[in-house]
């Protein structure tokens, strides 16, 4: 295993910038996840690391060695493809042995290594089967075993779980993560599924439109999103548009006067996490909302019942609507559509971004 | 009740139509096979008796044996050449997007659409011109005949390999490269085996087309070099005894046998 450095990577197709100036360093043994909506450049970045796409500019360093101009077969990077890409005419054992044969490893050693790796992914005894005789989950583990067999410097995972059903996906996430820790694999995974990203990563990179929007831990991204995109993409946020004339005073486009943190001025967006906003009945004057920096009255416009949680959409002004998420507790406050309510939040719950 | 009757009637009509079509295709073949075993020289019904002498008669006539041998050699060589040219062509057509890709694909399939006589005339004139221009023997040589047949083999190879390639996941090639295989090794170890059904089927159909070709061969054969279909035609001009039927039976058996054998390794129904 080795560290991986990506320096000022750019990929242009004509006028279209698929990747704009991406720089990342992945430490030895680190699990990094590239997260973003489709078309954000995350897969292009991964494929440039694997060598399938030639960068327009920038460098890729694997273990300190510049591999930017090397063809894929001369880089020691193991990749797991979204479709698994198992060789349909070869058995499981032959699939896993392929990379070892390419490395001219003696026959006897190959057999031993294939056995070891298949045991690692709990597929001992499946060596003689053809890929089409396996279930989706088993095929996925063969793909992983095949990539691990070559003892790669870096493991590249391209949406490896997207073809599995929801229940299996949860198990495989944990399995891959444990295997990665146990073997100390430097890993880069690409996904558009934020739950997957949050459960597996040591560190996350949020991308959109070919650019890195923020790099950080799960907590960093959720608690301190760097911009409106990250606040909306990682977790959920309500955005209120408005302006700040004097620092600390936010006026929404609907005319509401709110207190906010920071000292920026001008056109701005106030972002609120639905579960950080409190909600209560109007009649209660003090109660749970007392002491909150912002307290407003509104009307319940829409309620969605999610089981353990309830989403309540509250109309604050003709132009401003807020989503509040509450836990579904026995005897808890649960307003109906049309009911007037009070909402409130502390200064620290609101994030201000430039519009 | 009426619905059930209607559905049954529909099924009967469909099966009946399919049976009629099948009989229309098979009956002449059945008659030919039957005829090959008649004892009398002039085919007439009912047969006077049965005999295997017409099969023995084939071997007595050198022209049938020579014709068979020539057709076989031309077919094999044309098929091999057609594969060498057609497989890369199919790869290019499927994998790369370039100007004139559509017209080129149509051009490669053209020889199966153009009438054989037209193709033969064109090939004849072309070979005469080449002969005049280069001042070497072209027309009537074995290799010129093979060259002509390559043209009618290529459409089958291109069409069936193209169909086969469409079902191949391109990422398996990337996976091979990722595991350390260069472009050449990837082609031999991964791409080629996954399009093998298309290649085998293309080769088989190409060979059968070449083996049975009459029209183009008529223009291209030289003195003393006659392919089997031409031998049959010439024989039929003078005689109609069951020798021809016997020759046909041998052909049917060979081609049918080749198909059955191929089908054991490659499911032809999946590619064709």
Cross-strand bridge partners of residue A32: A188, A203
Considering only CB atoms, which chain A residues are within 8 Å of B177?
51-52, 71-73
Cβ contact A73–B169 (<8 Å): no
When comparing pLDDT for B169 and B85, which is higher?
B85
Considering only CB atoms, which chain A residues are within 8 Å of B193?
89
A85, A97, A99, A143, best to mutate vs chain B, most B CBs in 10 Å: A85
Q: Nearest CB to A89: which of B169, B179, B193?
A: B193
Considering only alpha carbons, which residue of chain A is nearest residue B185?
A102
Q: Are B116 and B213 in contact (CB under 8 A)?
A: yes
Give the CA-trace dihedral at A261, A266, A269, A270, to 10 degrees.
20
ipTM higher than the 0.85 cut: no
Cβ contact A87–B178 (<8 Å): no
Cβ contact A98–B182 (<8 Å): no
Considering only alpha carbons, which residue of chain A is nearest residue B173?
A85
pTM over the 0.80 mark: no
For B33, residues 6+ apart whose C-beta sits below 8 A from its C-beta are B245, B248, B249, B252
Strand, coil or helix: what is A182? helix
Cβ contact B180–A103 (<8 Å): yes
Say how far apart CA B211 and CA A210 lie, in whole Å: 58
For A153, phi then psi, to 5°, come to -70, -30
Say how far apart CA A66 and CA A52 lie, in whole Å: 16
Considering only CB atoms, which chain B residues are within 8 Å of A52?
174, 177
Considering only alpha carbons, which residue of chain A is nearest residue B191?
A87
Q: How confident is the model over B163-213, as pLDDT tens digits?
A: 888 888 889 999 999 999 998 999 999 999 888 888 988 898 899 889 888
pLDDT for res A102: 93
pLDDT for res A283: 67
Per-chain mean pLDDT for chain B: 85
Q: Provide the pLDDT confidence category of residue B269 given band limits of 50, 70 and 90.
A: low
Considering only CB atoms, which chain B residues are within 8 Å of A154?
none
pLDDT for res A284: 59
When comparing pLDDT for B218 and B16, which is higher?
B16
Cβ contact A50–B185 (<8 Å): no
Considering only alpha carbons, which residue of chain A is nearest residue B194?
A89
pLDDT for res A190: 95
For B154, residues 6+ apart whose C-beta sits below 8 A from its C-beta are B82, B85, B86, B89, B108, B111, B206
Instruction: Encode B31-66: b = buried (16+ Cβ within 10 Å), e = exposed.
Output: ebebbbbbeeeebeeeeeeeeeebbeebeeeeebeb
**What number of other Cβ atoms are within 10 A of residue A235's Cβ?**
17
Q: Are A180 and A121 in contact (CB under 8 A)?
A: no
Q: Nearest CB to B180: which of A81, A83, A99?
A: A99
Whether the upstream peptide bond of residue B46 has omega within 30° of 0, thus cis, is yes
Cβ contact B178–A77 (<8 Å): yes
DSSP B171-221: HHHHHHHHTT--HHHHIIIIIHHHTHHHHHHHHHHHHHHHHH--HHHHHHB
Q: Are A242 and A308 in contact (CB under 8 A)?
A: no
Q: Does the beta carbon of B176 lie under 8 angstroms from any beta carbon of chain A?
A: yes
Q: How confident is the model over B86-104, as pLDDT tens digits?
A: 999 998 888 888 888 888 8
Q: Are A25 and A5 in contact (CB under 8 A)?
A: yes
Say how far apart CA A25 and CA A205 lie, in whole Å: 11
Each residue's pLDDT expressed in tens, for chain A with a length of 355 residues? 789 999 999 999 988 999 999 999 999 999 999 999 988 999 999 999 999 999 999 999 998 899 999 999 999 999 999 999 999 989 999 999 999 999 999 999 999 999 999 999 899 989 999 999 999 889 999 999 999 999 999 999 999 888 888 888 888 888 899 999 998 999 999 999 888 899 899 999 999 999 999 999 999 999 999 999 999 998 889 999 999 988 888 999 888 888 888 888 889 999 999 999 989 888 656 666 777 888 888 999 999 998 899 999 999 988 899 999 999 888 888 888 989 998 999 988 888 988 7
């Amino acid at each position: 295993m080795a560290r991986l450095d990506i320096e000022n990577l750019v990929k242009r197709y004509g006028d279209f910038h698929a990747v704009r100036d991406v720089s990342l360093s992945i430490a030895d043994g680190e699990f990094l996840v590239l997260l973003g909506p489709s078309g954000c450049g995350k897969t292009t970045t991964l494929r440039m690391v694997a060598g399938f796409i030639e960068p327009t500019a920038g460098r890729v360093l694997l273990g300190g060695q510049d591999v930017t101009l090397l063809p894929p077969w001369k880089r020691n990077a193991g990749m797991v493809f979204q479709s698994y890409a198992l060789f349909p005419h070869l058995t499981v054992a032959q699939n896993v042995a392929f990379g070892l044969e390419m490395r001219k490893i003696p026959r006897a050693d190959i057999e031993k290594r294939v056995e070891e790796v298949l045991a690692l992914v709990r597929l001992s005894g499946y060596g003689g089967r053809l890929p089409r005789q396996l279930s989706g989950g088993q095929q996925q583990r063969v793909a992983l075993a095949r990539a691990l067999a070559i003892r790669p410097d870096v493991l590249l995972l391209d949406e490896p779980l997207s073809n599995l059903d929801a229940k299996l996906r949860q198990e495989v996430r944990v399995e891959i993560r444990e295997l990665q820790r146990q073997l100390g694999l430097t890993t880069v995974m690409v996904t558009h599924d934020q739950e997957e990203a949050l459960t597996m990563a040591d560190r996350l990179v949020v991308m959109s439109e070919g650019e890195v929007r923020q790099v950080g831990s799960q907590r960093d991204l959720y608690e301190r999103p760097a911009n409106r995109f990250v606040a909306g993409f990682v977790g959920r946020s309500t955005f209120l548009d408005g302006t700040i004339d004097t620092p600390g005073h936010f006026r929404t486009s609907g005319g509401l006067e709110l207190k906010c943190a920071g000292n920026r001025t001008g056109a701005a967006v106030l972002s609120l996490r639905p579960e950080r906003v409190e909600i209560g009945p109007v009649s209660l004057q003090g109660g749970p909302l007392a002491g909150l920096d912002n307290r407003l009255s509104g009307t319940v416009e829409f309620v969605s019942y999610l089981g353990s949680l309830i989403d309540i959409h509250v109309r604050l002004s003709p132009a401003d609507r807020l989503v509040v998420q509450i836990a579904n507790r026995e005897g808890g406050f649960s307003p109906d559509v049309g009911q007037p309510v009070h909402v409130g939040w502390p200064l620290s719950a609101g994030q201000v971004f430039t519009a | 009740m009426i619905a059930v009757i209607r559905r049954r009637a529909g099924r009967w009509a469909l099966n009946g139509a399919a049976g009629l079509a099948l009989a229309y295709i098979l009956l002449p073949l059945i008659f030919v096979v039957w005829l090959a075993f008649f004892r009398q020289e002039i085919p007439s019904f009912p047969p006077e008796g049965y005999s295997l002498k017409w099969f023995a008669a084939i071997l007595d006539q050198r022209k049938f044996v020579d014709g068979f041998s020539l057709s076989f050699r031309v077919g094999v060589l044309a098929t091999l050449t057609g594969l060498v040219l057609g497989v890369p062509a199919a790869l290019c057509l499927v994998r790369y997007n370039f100007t004139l890709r559509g017209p080129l694909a149509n051009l490669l399939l053209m020889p199966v659409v153009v009438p054989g006589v037209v193709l033969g005339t064109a090939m004849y004139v072309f070979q005469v011109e080449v002969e005049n221009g280069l001042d070497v023997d072209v027309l009537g040589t074995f290799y010129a005949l093979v060259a002509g047949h390559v043209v009618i083999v290529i459409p089958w190879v291109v069409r069936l390999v193209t169909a086969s390639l469409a079902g191949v996941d391109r990422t398996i090639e990337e996976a091979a490269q990722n595991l350390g295989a260069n472009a050449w090794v990837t082609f031999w170890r991964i791409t080629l085996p996954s399009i093998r059904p298309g290649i085998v089927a293309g080769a088989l159909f190409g060979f059968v087309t070449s083996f049975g070709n009459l029209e183009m061969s008529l223009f291209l054969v030289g003195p003393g070099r006659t392919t089997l279909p031409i031998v049959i035609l010439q024989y039929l001009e003078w005689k109609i005894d069951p020798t021809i039927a016997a020759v046909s039976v041998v052909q049917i058996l060979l081609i049918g046998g080749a198909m059955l054998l191929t089908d054991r390794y490659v499911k032809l129904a999946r590619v064709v």
